[in-house]
Amino acid sequence: MPWTFYNSSGEALIEDGAMSIANNTNNRVVTATGADPASLNGEANLTFDGTHLTIADGNLIIGTGGHGIDFSAQASPAAGMSSELLDRYEEGDFTPVVAFGGSASSYVYGVQFGRYTRIGRQIFIELRLDTGGGTRTTSGAATITGLPFTSGNRSYSAGSFGYLSGITFADTPYFMLAAGSVVFDFYETSNAGTPSTITDGNFADHATTPFQIFVFGSYFID
Amino acid sequence: MALTERTEVSRREVLADGQIQVRTDTVIERDGVEISRRFHRHVVVPGADVSGEDESVRTVANAVHTAEVIAAYKAARE
């Protein structure tokens, strides 16, 4: 029996023996153009073979915040698992600054570079600071300010410097990031196990010795 | 062919303690069509000088950073 598909306006859309989809071939996902639809088109860059959906070219765009890729079908999640939804990814830059006692000094940086990648609630950062001029004009505990995200309220991260130059210390230098903070605090711990802050007094004035700081680290946010 | 560069604040995320996470996008356009976008982030803490911030960030900071919020933030850091 001959058949015909009609649109909502009563117009014949597809008649028996006349069905056609433009640009179609095996496994292409078909999309419609027009409200009724006026035409069907096989998408060259979007295919489904019954198991895998493939985007040959272009991005998968999550159009609404809070959604992402759900991995909850994975078996045996670890104890303490709180989420299996990958809903955030971002990469960009930030501007690190050395400060003493909470105030930036008048250093001029030859290199002042920071970049980050956020995957879920974890922030990976890389930074480099090289003084190229200026001088130390503030005093107090040494910090690096300008981190891209505030650390989580239950976090207390610590890490080691990748490279230090022009900064004196007696023992093992490291930095700490307090909970709810955007500041790396400089510390050193003696061989006897006693921690103490690194201050402006540990930094050379640029007029005598430039300093360099390289850091690669990560921390969690809420 | 005209290349233009502009910046726009695309995120103003207010945390429970009043800190504002700000994302600024640098957008490069060719003849009005975006060809590149880079993100830069910083955080504005309660009590910070916001005079150099984007107007939209100042508006949020002025609303959120009340004397009580600033005092609570400083107390939590001590």
Using CB atoms, which residue from A90, A92, A150 is nearest to B19?
A150
Spell out which residues of chain A touch residue B16, defining contact as CB-CB under 8 Å.
Answer: 153
What's the pTM value of the predicted model, to 2 decimals? 0.85
pLDDT, tens only, B9-57: 999 999 999 999 999 999 999 999 999 999 999 999 999 999 999 999 9
Q: Quote the minimal CA–CA distance from A136 to chain B in Å.
A: 21
Can you give the pLDDT at residue A197?
95
Give the pLDDT confidence of A133-174 residue by residue, as tens digits: 888 889 999 999 999 999 998 878 888 888 999 898 888 999
Confidence of residue A81 (pLDDT cuts 50, 70, 90): confident
Q: How far is A75 from chain B (nearest CA, A)?
A: 34
Q: Are the C-beta atoms of A173 and A164 separated by less than 8 Å?
A: yes
DSSP 8-state code for residue A164 = E
Q: pLDDT at position A10, please?
A: 77
Phi, psi of A185 (to 5 degrees): -95, 135
Minimum mean pLDDT range among A41-55, A87-101, A146-160, A177-191: A146-160
Q: pLDDT value at position B58? A: 97
Mutate to test the interface with A, among B8, B37, B42, B45 (most CBs of A within 10 A): B42
- Determine whether the interchain pair B43/A148 forms a contact, defined as Cβ–Cβ distance below 8 Å: yes
* 3-state percent breakdown (helix, strand, coil) of chain A, nearest 5: 0, 50, 50
| A173 part of contact set with chain B, CB < 8 Å | no
Judging contacts by C-beta atoms under 8 Å, the chain B residues touching residue A222 are: 15
Interface contact A92-B39, CB threshold 8 A = yes
pLDDT of residue A34: 77
- Mean per-residue pLDDT for A107-118? 94
List the single residue in B with minimal CA-CA distance to A90: B39
Cross-chain residue pair B41–A150, CB shorter than 8 Å: no
CB contact under 8 A, B42 and A91: no
The single-letter DSSP state of residue A205 is P
Question: What 3-state DSSP class applies to A5?
Answer: strand
Burial of B76 (0-12, 13-18, 19+ CB in 10 A): middle
Interface membership of A156 toward B (CB under 8 Å) = no
Q: Quick one: pLDDT band at residue A9, thresholds 50, 70, 90?
A: confident
Say yes or no to pLDDT of A127 above 90. Answer: yes
* Tokens (6 digits) for A196: 């103490």
How do residues A92-108 score in pLDDT, each as one tens digit? Answer: 999 999 999 989 888 88
- The CA distance from B19 to A149, in Å, is 10
How confident is residue B78, by pLDDT bands cut at 50, 70 and 90?
Answer: confident
The pLDDT, as a whole number, for residue A67 is 94
Q: Quick one: pLDDT at residue B77?
A: 82
Q: A15 pLDDT exceeds 70?
A: no
User: What are the residues whose beta carbons fall under 8 Å from the beta carbon of B6, sequence distance 6 or more?
Assistant: B26, B27, B29
Token pair in block for residue B34:
């975006």
What are the chain A neighbours of B23 within 8 Å (beta carbons)? 92
Residues in A closer than 8 angstroms to B42, CB to CB, are: 94-95, 146, 148
Contact partners, residue A12, CB within 8 Å, separation at least 6: A4, A5, A6
Using a CB–CB cutoff of 8 Å, tell me whether A146 touches chain B.
yes
CB pairs under 8 A between A and B: 41
CA distance A217 to A184: 11
Are B42 and A146 in contact (CB < 8 Å)? yes
Give dist(CA A120, CA B36) in Å, integer: 24
Residue (of A92, A91, A165, A157) closest to A128 by Cα position: A165
User: For A19-40, what is each residue's pLDDT tens digit?
Assistant: 678 888 899 998 888 776 568 8
Return the pLDDT at B8.
96
| pLDDT grade for A11, boundaries at 50, 70 and 90 | confident
